[in-house]
Amino acid sequence: MNYKVEIKSKVKEIEDIIEKYLPGEAGYQKTVIEAMNYSVNAGGKRLRPMLMKEVFTLFGGKGEVIEPFMAAMEMIHTYSLVHDDLPAMDDDEYRRGRKTTHVVYGECMAILAGDGLLNYAFETACKAFDLEPNNKNIGRAMQILAKKAGIFGMIGGQTADIEAETMEKDKITSDLLLFIHKNKTAALIESSMMIGAVLAGAKEEEVNAIEKIGYNIGVAFQIQDDILDITGSLEVLGKMTGSDEKNNKVTYVSLNGMEKAKEDVEKLSKEALTLLESFRNKNEFLNELIKELITREK
């Protein structure tokens, strides 16, 4: 398997699926739809829908029922980035190599675009019922999608992250930082992988194991992001670096040091791969994708 060729093909497949589910730019609400589509079409790794599809394949999933959830997940992820870039949050000017949504469309329209993407994500996921009306697993997948994106998932993590910015640095513990990473970043990765397993008909214990794998990947991914915010560049990352320091954020690197941060990325990733190897079925590409997250430069 040529990983680089394979991932390029899979990203193209995901892009086509997302495009199929994006709303048409028409009507009096056209501007907010344009802002929504601008945000989604900014590109990116498409990691979450990719993980979802690969886990779906791992457990023998067939058909198109996974596709509305793949598109919905990318919409939710994108909405979180649109809001994260706002002046009230991280105040970032670049995302994925081009101007952020609030810079192009204004702050008010960026807020509405984020709101629109979140709502439209669930409208999109519900289209799975049209594809397989009698599939009871769709309801369970919807529950996972809703919870992991909400106050007991991503929004909860974002809340703790914002409050941590105004805390005295010596009061920010490793437990708090891991809570933020688990919920702000890992929750959507856990959700993506769990939905893939659930829609493929995986057993409950297998779904639980997949959730643990998603946690490891998500936390490792965020630690690597903290590392890249120090070592990366605008040319490579497509966004300004040093935003964590600018916003006075305590990160995994500032709390634990660069060496331990790199060690923990590798440790978490290896644990995820070991768990993945415990399943009867194998997915070589999924293994390579997780390995790539260890050494990614953007």
Inter-residue contact 181 to 219 (CB < 8 Å):
yes
List of residues 6+ apart from 240 with CB closer than 8 A: 92, 93, 94, 234
Spans of all domains in the chain: 3-295
The pLDDT confidence band at residue 247, using thresholds 50, 70 and 90, is low
- What residue spans of 166-257 are helical by DSSP H? 174-180, 187-199, 204-231, 234-237, 243-246, 252-256
Helices H / strands E in the chain, number of each: 17, 2
Inter-residue contact 98 to 45 (CB < 8 Å):
no
CA distance 260 to 252: 9
Q: Write down the residue that tokens 């995820």 correspond to.
A: 272
CA dihedral for 46, 50, 53, 55, sign (positive or negative):
negative
Whether the per-residue pLDDT at 237 is higher than 70: the answer is no
CA distance 285 to 6: 8
Judging by beta carbons within 10 Å of its beta carbon (0-12, 13-18, 19+), is residue 295 exposed, middle or buried?
exposed
pLDDT digits (tens, 9 = 90+) for 43-52: 889 999 999 9
Query: For the chain, what percent of residues have pLDDT higher than 70?
Result: 94
What is the overall mean pLDDT for the chain? 92
Q: Look at residue 281 and give its three-state secondary structure.
A: coil
DSSP string, 60-119: T--SSTTHHHHHHHHHHHHHHHHHHTSTTTT--SEETTEE-HHHHH-HHHHHHHHHHHHH
235 phi-psi bin (left φ>0, alpha ψ -120 to 50, beta other): alpha
pLDDT digits (tens, 9 = 90+) for 148-164: 999 999 999 999 999 99
User: What is the pLDDT, as a whole number, of residue 232?
Assistant: 65
Inter-residue contact 271 to 293 (CB < 8 Å):
no
Mean pLDDT of 61-80: 98
Whether the per-residue pLDDT at 243 is higher than 70: the answer is no
CA distance 174 to 219: 12
CA distance 191 to 147: 9
Percent helix, strand, coil in the chain (nearest 5)? Answer: 70, 0, 25
Annotation: CATH topology of 3-295: Farnesyl Diphosphate Synthase (1.10.600)
CB neighbourhood size of 31 (10 A): 15
The distance of Cα 10 from the centroid of its chain, to the nearest Å, equals 16
CB neighbourhood size of 111 (10 A): 19
Inter-residue contact 61 to 138 (CB < 8 Å):
no
The pLDDT confidence band at residue 258, using thresholds 50, 70 and 90, is very high
Inter-residue contact 275 to 213 (CB < 8 Å):
yes
The pLDDT confidence band at residue 165, using thresholds 50, 70 and 90, is confident
Mean pLDDT of 266-283: 93
CA distance 273 to 216: 10
